Amino acid sequence: MSNSVAPFTWVLALTVLLTACGSSPHTNHYLLTAKQDPVPSGASPSLGIGPIEIPPYLDRSNLVYNQRQNQLHVASQDNWAEPLDDGIQRVLAINLSGLLNTQDVRYFPWHPKRAPDYGVKINLLALDANDQQATLSAEWLVYRAADAAPVIRRISRLQHPLPAGELNPAEVAPAYSTLLYQLSEIIAETITAAEMIPTDAEP
């Protein structure tokens, strides 16, 4: 009796295990993307990207977006493919490299004796999406990396419309990427203006 029951038990256990694996929910992974500008041909100005600071509620692998006022939705099956702050740093580096036509871009922290011309610090205040739009709020600082002297500090609040109807998680990463490019354009304009001002004319 026991000899005939044992194989049946193993087969039943294996069937249950395979069924559970086959029915597990599929997890989607998303990346922020940079705009594909032509490959930069210059090496000036040199840029340092970082540090990048994000709110604790966004510091997780899950996508987090607005469900209703003061209530967030943490997606269980929709994840970032990399830490969000790393993704923001990567996308800003590519965007600014193209906008400023420079191949000399590095990440914070850099060697103090090989500081870039400009550093770009981002303090992300909010990054959100709902059934109407995606929004980004960030305090950003452009500074001279050699001595940490500030060039300009601003808070930018940007919006990007989303298709009407229930929010599709697949729309979130492209919308955030668009907002990051808008932010990159603002920062690039600031650095371009700073490059046109003689150093001895600065206060």
Q: Which two tokens stand for residue 62?
A: 């899950």
Cβ burial, residue 147 (10 Å; 0-12/13-18/19+): exposed
Domain for residue 85, yes or no?
yes
| Contact of 142 with 172, CB cutoff 8 Å | no
For residue 10, report the phi and psi dihedrals to the nearest 5 degrees: -65, -40
In tens, the pLDDT along 41-86 reads: 887 899 999 999 999 999 999 999 876 677 888 988 999 999 999 9
In tens, the pLDDT along 8-41 reads: 555 555 555 555 555 567 899 999 999 987 888 8
Domain for residue 54, yes or no?
yes
pTM of model > 0.95? no
In tens, the pLDDT along 108-161 reads: 999 888 899 999 999 999 999 988 899 999 999 999 998 989 999 999 999 999
Residue 162: pLDDT band with limits 50, 70, 90: very high
pLDDT for res 12? 53
Domain carrying residue 73:
28-201
Q: The domain spanning residue 32 has which CATH number? A: 3.40.50.10610
| Contact of 53 with 122, CB cutoff 8 Å | yes
Assess whether pLDDT exceeds 50 at residue 96: yes
Domain for residue 73, yes or no?
yes
Average pLDDT, the chain: 86
pLDDT for res 80? 96
In tens, the pLDDT along 171-195 reads: 999 999 999 999 999 999 999 999 8
Alpha helices of the chain — where are they, by DSSP H?
A: 2-22, 84-100, 172-195
Domain for residue 4, yes or no?
no
Domain for residue 13, yes or no?
no
Overall number of domains in the chain: 1
Closest by CA position to 188, among listed 63, 92, 89, 73: 92
Domain for residue 88, yes or no?
yes
pLDDT for res 202? 46
Domain for residue 139, yes or no?
yes
